[in-house]
Amino acid sequence: MNISRFSKVCNQNGSITVLSIGVMALCLLLIFLGSVVHSSLLVRSRTQTVADAAALVGANAYDFGDVELIDGNPKLTLKTQKVQDAVNNYLGKVRLPKELQLKAVVTSGADTVAVTLGGVWHPPFVGFILPEGISIVETATARTYFR
């Protein structure tokens, strides 16, 4: 067997370059995908935090004049308009991403407030893949306890 003839047929020079380019492209794709997912999680977390705080503000939107005595026990009933005004005032002071807005403020029962924030978020770098964006809806609930 002639070794020089075998080395001419199976010349492997430069093949590591193609492999290196492929691995680098895969690494860049993973970094890119990780940054998009991380950004999405940050927006969702921020939205949930603001919704939680808005629900707490709404649950504390009462005056002591709203307290009634029933059978000698104080009873607090939240007024829907006061709750909505307090939540809107709070959200006016907080910097939300421009895509997100207040969807609903619901007072259920006499002491529970649910705030829903939502909208469409467009992640960076993938506008051509997801032109409609990603829908984000977060709901937070808070309860007033008065004794």
Could you report the per-residue pLDDT of 61-112, keeping only the tens digit for each?
887 777 777 787 777 778 888 999 999 999 999 887 777 888 999 888 778 8
Report if residue 58 sits inside a domain: yes
Whether residue 8 is predicted with pLDDT greater than 60 in this model: the reply is: no
- Residue at 81 is within a domain: yes
Residue 25 forms part of a structural domain: no
Query: Domain of 117?
Result: 39-143
- Over residues 111-118, mean pLDDT: 92
Mean residue pLDDT of the chain comes to: 84
* Domain membership flag for residue 94: yes
Report if residue 65 sits inside a domain.
yes
Q: Decide if 18 is inside a domain.
A: no
Residue 6 lies in a domain: no
What would the 3-class secondary structure string for the chain be? CCHHHHHHHCCCCCHHHHHHHHHHHHHHHHHHHHHHHHHHHHHHHHHHHHHHHHHHHHHCCCCHHHEEEECCEEEECCCHHHHHHHHHHHHHHCCCCCCEEEEEEEEECCCEEEEEEEEEECCCCCCCCCCCCEEEEEEEEEECCCC
Q: For residue range 31-50, what is the model confidence (pLDDT) as tens digits?
A: 988 888 888 888 889 889 99
In a domain, 9, yes or no: no
> How would residue 23 be classed by pLDDT, with cut points 50, 70 and 90?
very high
Q: What is the pLDDT of residue 13?
A: 67
How many domains would you assign to the chain? 1
